[in-house]
């Protein structure tokens, strides 16, 4: 039986943990993994980590699972053009119909939405970018759950959510026992020393300025303006 193929389409400024955490989770599940790009030249994350694609968008085989990472500026990918003249979005739209699951984590949801792949679906993204995702014709959840399944779409919250989401995906595809084995192998047993993982967490409630600081640091107001302009174009 052939291994299920998983593709991670990369772009400049992707978030490395959005890719590497799920990549390792799917490795323990025995899946066939593809880092993908417009060419086979290395692509650099916003932290400065360079990853080399295994295949190009044009030469990629049909995937079973599409997993789109977030990044420092996914809006810049949208601004390369609309569906039909945007190589990244066109790749997503071309692959998605035959995929078992179409997934994203963090702001990767904006790219799925830009390709029309979240239309009519329930979705989530990084908490700070929910207003941006709400500009698209999807229903954005009003809580901070780690991932959301809607049909064969699965979208994850911010960055670290990718680990929980990937384990959930493994459980869907291979069963609970396989997912548990992977979690044990990675010794994934988070015990954070602080409690500020999302705006509802206790440490954030004690420091309300943290949310506004992050929104400004992530340039969310600019992203809102840019996506509105892109949608209008």
Residue 125 lies in a domain: yes
Residue 135 lies in a domain: yes
Residue 160 lies in a domain: yes
Please give the structure tokens belonging to residue 210.
Answer: 């943290």
Q: Is the pLDDT of residue 11 over 80?
A: yes
Q: Which one of the listed residues 60, 99, 103, 106 is annotated catalytic?
A: 106
pLDDT value at position 143?
97
Residue 18 lies in a domain: yes
pLDDT digit string, tens, across residues 146-177? 999 999 999 999 999 999 999 999 999 999 99
Q: Write out the residue range of the structural domain in which residue 164 sits.
A: 5-193
pLDDT value at position 2?
85
**Annotation marks residue 103 as catalytic:** no
CATH code of the domain in which 72 resides: 3.40.50.880
Average pLDDT in the chain: 97
Residue 213 lies in a domain: no
Domains in the chain, number = 1
Residue 157 lies in a domain: yes
- Overall size of the chain counted in residues: 233
């Amino acid at each position: 039986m052939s291994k299920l193929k998983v593709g991670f389409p990369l772009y400049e400024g992707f978030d490395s943990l959005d890719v590497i955490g799920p990549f390792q989770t799917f490795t323990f599940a025995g899946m066939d993994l593809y880092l993908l790009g417009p060419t086979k030249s290395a692509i650099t994350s916003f932290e400065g980590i360079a990853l080399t694609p295994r295949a190009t968008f044009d030469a990629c085989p049909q995937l079973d699972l599409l997993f789109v990472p977030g990044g420092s500026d996914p809006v810049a990918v949208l601004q390369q053009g609309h569906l039909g003249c945007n190589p990244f979005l066109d790749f997503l739209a071309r692959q998605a119909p035959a995929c078992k699951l179409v997934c994203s984590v963090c702001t990767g949801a904006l790219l799925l939405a830009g390709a029309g792949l979240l239309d009519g679906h329930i979705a989530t993204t990084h908490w700070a970018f929910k207003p941006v995702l709400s500009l698209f014709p999807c229903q954005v959840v009003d809580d901070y759950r780690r991932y959301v399944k809607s049909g064969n779409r699965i979208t994850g919250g911010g960055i670290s959510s990718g680990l929980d989401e990937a384990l959930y995906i493994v459980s869907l595809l291979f069963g609970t026992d396989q997912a548990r084995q992977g979690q044990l192998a990675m010794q994934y047993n988070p015990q954070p020393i602080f409690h500020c993982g999302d705006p509802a967490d206790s440490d954030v409630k004690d420091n309300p300025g943290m949310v506004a600081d992050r929104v400004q640091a992530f340039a969310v107001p600019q992203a809102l303006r840019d996506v509105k302009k892109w949608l209008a174009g």
